[in-house]
């Protein structure tokens, strides 16, 4: 099958020119270049994809360096993996040397050997991700499809390439369900059978890798569909016995989506995902996923605050009381609770803190108080605190009122 026309239509002109330069330089060096993986899948489906992966039968890093020098493009080299990344406008172009892989033991990172395109495709997760398109001038646009990926695309099937695939790398269990739900496909029968059988192999996967796959799920348009299905299959429970994928989560994910800043959405999803866990279960989860300190703090804060929300369920509460209850919590943890709380009073008190109270500052500081004749020392700190509280509660508004109050408190 020739896809030359589809490539020309699918990729923007600038990228086509760059790709042409790469393949010309490659043939000068006696190497071959292919477009591979997700972009081939999406090109056949007619979906956009701005992450281009190129596989080179030859030295990818050397080729990338040559092209970057000719074109004056920024290049990042990952010498450990023999890969290079070119950033080009909205596009990223990853270049990797074709390689085969063997797994010393399940879940371990693979041992890599240089190879040809077919070996490189064989190490991939699913047939729909194991296709390539030649970019060489003699067979430009030719589809390389040794595992019937195109037929599986047409039949809407997710299929692994061999029966040990899930045991070699159980993150593929999470990936399979992510693609199944994103594309509205089905697991091929044998794949479905092996997926269920190998769920326990998730225990061989490091926390960092599980977390990475969870982050990829949270980047999906509808992560709640993936989470629900993973729950039904018992995959979530294998990661932590208390995790669930129920309709409550789906409802909250739907609610948070339009309200969150894009950069915070993934962390908020994570908060909602673990909202029903007890603090002890959360600690297990944090340990299992080797959660970075900052994110772990957000999750701990969220559950801790969840147990304090009753203190905020009264409309007569002072602003300063709200402030002192909340000021040590991570704002994301507060936002997550705001999204979830059933009480409109609690929600509006949390919102008041997030939008106003946490930004309230007194105009005076230590230096200015000293100039008013208040001596340095612990008293001065106390006066500043009283001023802050009075400002929060609206008892002082202007700088003159702050000064008046400060002088009245002078020891």
Strands 186-187 and 111-114: unpaired
Name residues whose C-beta falls within 8 Å of residue 174's C-beta, 6 or more positions apart in sequence: 210, 213, 214, 216, 217, 230, 235
Give the length of the chain. 411
Which of 97, 134, 171, 260 binds ligand ATP (CB under 6 A)? It is 171
Residue closer to Mg ion by CB (options 38, 58) is 38
Return the number of the residue (36 or 390) whose C-beta is nearest Mg ion.
36
> Of Mg ion, ligand ATP, none, which one sits near residue 82, judging by CB under 5 to 8 A according to partner kind?
none
Query: With CB cut-offs between 5 and 8 Å by kind, which of ligand ATP, Mg ion, none does residue 171 bind?
Result: ligand ATP
Does residue 38 touch ligand ATP according to CB under 6 A?
yes
DSSP string, 171-232: HHHHHHHHHHHHHT-EE-HHHHHHHHHTGGGGGGS-HHHHHHHHHHHHTSS-HHHHHHHHHH
Minimum distance, C-beta of residue 121 to ligand ATP, in the bound complex (Å): 8
Q: Does 301 bind ligand ATP (CB under 6 A)?
A: no
- Spatial neighbors of 227 by CB under 8 A, at least 6 apart, are 217, 236, 245, 249, 250, 253, 273
Q: Which stretch binds ligand ATP (CB under 6 A): 168-176, 197-205, 266-274, 338-346?
A: 168-176
Backbone angles phi, psi at 75, to 5 degrees: -130, 135
Q: Rounded CA gap, 19 and 64, in Å?
A: 11
Select from ligand ATP, Mg ion, none the partner in contact with residue 149, using the beta carbon and a kind-dependent cut-off of 5 to 8 Å.
Answer: none
Q: Is 245 in the site for ligand ATP (CB under 6 A)?
A: no
Contact residues: Mg ion, CB under 5 A: 38, 51
Residue 51 makes contact with ligand ATP by CB under 6 A: yes
User: Least CB distance from residue 242 to ligand ATP, whole Å?
Assistant: 26
Give the per-residue contact string, 52-71, with ligand ATP (x = CB under 6 A; - = no). Answer: -x------------------
Q: Least distance from C-beta 185 to ligand ATP, angstroms?
A: 13
Decide: is 169 part of the binding site for ligand ATP (CB under 6 A): yes
Q: Out of 99, 124, 228, 389, which residue is the one contacting ligand ATP (CB under 6 A)? A: 124
Q: Supply the minimum distance, in Å, between the C-beta of residue 51 and ligand ATP.
A: 6
Stretch that binds ligand ATP, among 121-129, 143-151, 290-298, 322-330 (CB under 6 A): 121-129
Q: Bridge partners of 375?
A: none
User: Tokens at residue 264, please?
Assistant: 């915070």
Q: Which of 57, 120, 125, 152 binds ligand ATP (CB under 6 A)?
A: 125
Return the one option of Mg ion, ligand ATP, none that residue 125 interacts with (CB less than 5 to 8 A, by type): ligand ATP
Q: Do 144 and 131 contact (CB within 8 A), yes or no? A: yes
| CB 39, min distance to Mg ion, A | 7
Which residue matches tokens 């999750």?
A: 299
Interface with ligand ATP includes 172 (CB under 6 A)? Answer: yes
Shortest separation between residue 220's beta carbon and Mg ion, angstroms: 13
* Measured distance between the N- and C-terminal CA atoms of the chain, rounded to whole angstroms: 89
Helix (H, G, I), strand (E, B) or coil at 265: helix
Closest CB to Mg ion among residues 178, 391: 178
Q: Which DSSP category does 127 fall into?
A: G
CA atoms within 13 A on the CB side of 333: 21
What is the helix (H) or strand (E) element at residue 77, kind and residue range?
strand 75-78
Nearer to ligand ATP, 37 or 82 (CB): 37
Which residues have a Cβ under 8 Å from the Cβ of 292 and sit 6 or more positions away?
none
Cβ 108 to ligand ATP shortest distance, Å: 12
DSSP secondary structure of 38-70: HHHHHHHHT----EEEEEEES-HHHHHHHHHHH
129 binding ligand ATP? (CB under 6 A): yes
- Residues lying near ligand ATP in the complex (CB under 6 A): 37-38, 51, 53, 124-125, 129, 169, 171-172
């Amino acid at each position: 099958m020739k896809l030359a026309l589809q490539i020309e239509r699918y990729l923007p002109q600038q990228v086509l020119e760059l790709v042409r330069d790469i393949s010309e330089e490659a043939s000068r060096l006696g190497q071959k270049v292919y477009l591979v993986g997700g972009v081939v899948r999406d090109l056949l489906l007619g979906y956009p994809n701005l992450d281009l992966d190129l596989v080179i039968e030859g030295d990818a890093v050397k080729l990338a360096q040559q092209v970057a020098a000719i074109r004056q493009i920024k290049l990042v080299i990952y010498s450990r993996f023999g890969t290079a990344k070119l950033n080009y406008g909205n596009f990223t172009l990853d270049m990797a040397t074709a390689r085969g892989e063997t797994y010393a033991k399940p879940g371990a990172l693979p041992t890599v050997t240089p190879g040809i395109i077919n070996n490189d495709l064989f190490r991939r997760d699913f047939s729909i991700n194991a296709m390539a398109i030649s970019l060489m001038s003699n067979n430009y646009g030719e589809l390389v499809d040794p595992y019937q990926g195109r037929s599986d695309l047409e039949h809407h099937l997710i299929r692994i390439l061999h029966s040990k695939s899930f045991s070699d790398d159980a993150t593929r269990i999470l990936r399979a369900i992510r693609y199944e739900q994103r594309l509205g496909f089905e697991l091929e029968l044998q794949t479905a059978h092996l997926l269920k059988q190998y769920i326990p192999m998730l225990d061989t996967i490091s926390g960092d890798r599980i977390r990475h796959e969870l982050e990829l799920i949270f980047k999906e348009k509808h992560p709640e569909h993936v989470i629900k299905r993973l729950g039904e299959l018992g995959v979530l429970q294998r990661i932590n016995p208390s995790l669930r994928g129920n309709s409550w989560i789906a409802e909250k994910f739907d609610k948070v989506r339009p309200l969150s800043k894009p950069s915070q959405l993934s962390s908020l999803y994570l908060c909602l995902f673990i909202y029903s866990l007890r603090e002890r279960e959360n600690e297990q989860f944090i340990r299992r996923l080797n959660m970075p300190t900052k994110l772990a703090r957000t999750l701990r804060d969220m559950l801790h605050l969840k147990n304090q929300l009753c203190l905020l369920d009264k409309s007569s509460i002072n602003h300063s009381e709200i402030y002192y209850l909340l000021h040590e919590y991570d704002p994301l943890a507060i936002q997550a609770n705001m999204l979830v709380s059933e009480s409109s009073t609690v929600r509006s008190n949390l919102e008041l803190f997030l939008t106003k109270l946490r930004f309230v500052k007194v105009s005076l500081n230590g230096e200015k108080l000293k100039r008013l004749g208040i001596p340095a020392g612990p008293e001065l700190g106390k006066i500043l605190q009283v001023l802050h509280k009075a400002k929060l509660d609206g008892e002082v508004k202007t700088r003159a009122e702050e000064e008046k109050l400060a002088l009245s408190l002078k020891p």
